[in-house]
Amino acid sequence: MNTKKINRITLTALLVLGLIFPFFADYYVLCIGINVLIAALLGQSWNIMSGYAGQFSFGHAVFFGIGAYTSTALYTMFGVTPWLGMIIGAGVAAAVGAIIGFLSFRYKLRDDYFALATLAFAEIFRILVNNTKSLGGATGILIPYLQNPMEYQFASDKTYYYVILIFVALATVYIALMSKSKLGLNLVAIKGNQEAAAALGVNVLKYKLIAISSSAAFAALAGTFYAQYYGFIDPSIVFASSISVEAIVPCIIGGSGTLYGPLLGALLIIPLQEICNSLFTSISGVNMIVYGAVIVAFILFCPDGIFGRIMKIKGKKGAKK
């Protein structure tokens, strides 16, 4: 079985599961399914920037939050439909991503320092929104629920499910096309050795900016979806560092820099947390202990993630490099 075959089987299995899932799920399980897909979208978004382009982000919440706040503010203040707000939000997030990317490139910010800078950016946005009265400040914004599909509001959770499924599929197709294109090859080169890539004529800045901006845009889509689905946002939810971590963990589990890794990772970690929650209702914190333990276990014993490991066993270079 070669890599291509594994990919094809995974794709078919995930697609079938994704499409038929709502017909077998009750309300509660469907809700978990939606959360899986939100995590998967965030994971794929992180995957573009960090898995493929090697820019380790620890502040994806900044893009998620920008997406959520742009569409919500435009909707509640000016009546702009969140469908349009979503696109504007993605644009704003991409622009912020480009600025962060440009600054870090200009000043040669790498690895852990880049991670810390992205974390600080997310914190700054959180505090800014927290102090902006017109954006609801710390109390957040409640979105009036009108059940109008034109306003990105649906009567049935099944519709929400399929909407986010489409976004996850879009992100995955984007990565699939990207990794085969010149862009993807250049990103791999940059991730491997930035100086060598630059010396060979790769426009490092351009490709990094494309990767970071597109990654930011997908995270913003997840943010808008979150706002529309839950109907309420506040700065400590959407700009939280836990969101940034939620973008990373599916990639660690499934394998960052692999096409389906984050999907598989999200499919494992979110239900696992739900199971812990329902098993230990009387003790708070158990699900997060398990969460931490899963991170520790994967980093120690399976640092390439499940897909990365499979690719390695198959002796293919394709997975990470």
Partner 1 sequence: MNMQIFQALLDGVLMGGVYALAALGLSLIFGVMKITNFAHGAMMTVGMYTVYVVSTGLGISPYISLIFAAVTLFVLGYVIQHFLIDKISQAPTHNQLLLTLGIAYILENGLLAVFTPNYKTLEVDDFEGSIKLGQITLSPEKLVAFAVVFVVTAVIYLMLYRTRTGKAIRACSQNREGAQLMGIVIKKTNAIAFGIGALCTGIAGALLTPILSIYPTLGETFQLKCFVIAILGGMGNLWGALISGLIVGVVESVTGYVAGGSWSDLTVYAAFILILLVKPSGLFGRSNRREH
Residues binding partner 1 (CB under 8 A) = 56, 58, 103-104, 106-107, 109, 111-113, 115-117, 119-121, 123-124, 127-128, 130-131, 241, 245, 248, 252, 283-286, 288-289, 291-296, 299-300, 303
C-alpha distances (whole Å) from 6 to each of 49, 91, 97, 310, 318 are 24, 35, 33, 9, 12
Residue 217 CA: distances (Å) to CA of 42, 68, 137: 10, 12, 24
Closer residue to partner 1 (CB): 35 or 55: 55
Output the smallest distance, CB 163 to partner 1, in A.
Answer: 31
Q: Closest approach of Cβ 131 to partner 1, in Å?
A: 5
What are 121's two structure tokens? 């950016």
CA 117 to chain centre: 18
In whole angstroms, give the CA distance from residue 202 to residue 199: 7
Pick between residue 165 and residue 319 the one whose CB is nearest to partner 1: 319
Minimum gap (Å) between residue 252 Cβ and partner 1: 6
Name the one residue in this structure whose structure tokens are 């820019």.
Answer: 55
Smallest distance, partner 1 to C-beta of residue 135, A: 14
**Distance of alpha carbon 57 from alpha carbon 100, whole angstroms:** 11
Kindly state the tokens that stand for 103.
């600054």
Residue 49: which H helix or E strand, with range? none
Closest distance between partner 1 and the C-beta of residue 138, in Å? 9
Q: What CA–CA distance (Å, rounded) separates 221 from 54?
A: 22
Residue 281: is it exposed, middle or buried by C-beta count within 10 angstroms (0-12/13-18/19+)? Answer: exposed
Rank residues 117 and 210 by Cβ distance to partner 1 and give the closer one.
117
Q: What is the rounded distance in angstroms from the CA atom of residue 150 to the CA atom of residue 273?
A: 33
Of the two residues 64 and 114, which places its CB atom closer to partner 1 in the complex? 114
DSSP string, 282-313: SSTTHHHHHHHHHHHHHHHH-TTHHHHHHHHH
* Residue 57 or 71 having the CB closest to partner 1: 57
Bridge partners of 265? none
**In the bound complex, what is the minimum distance in angstroms from residue 33's beta carbon to partner 1?**
24
Q: Measured from the CB of residue 140, what is the shortest distance to partner 1 in angstroms? A: 15
Closest to partner 1 by CB, 74 or 190: 190
Q: Which is nearer to partner 1, 50 or 214 (CB)?
A: 50
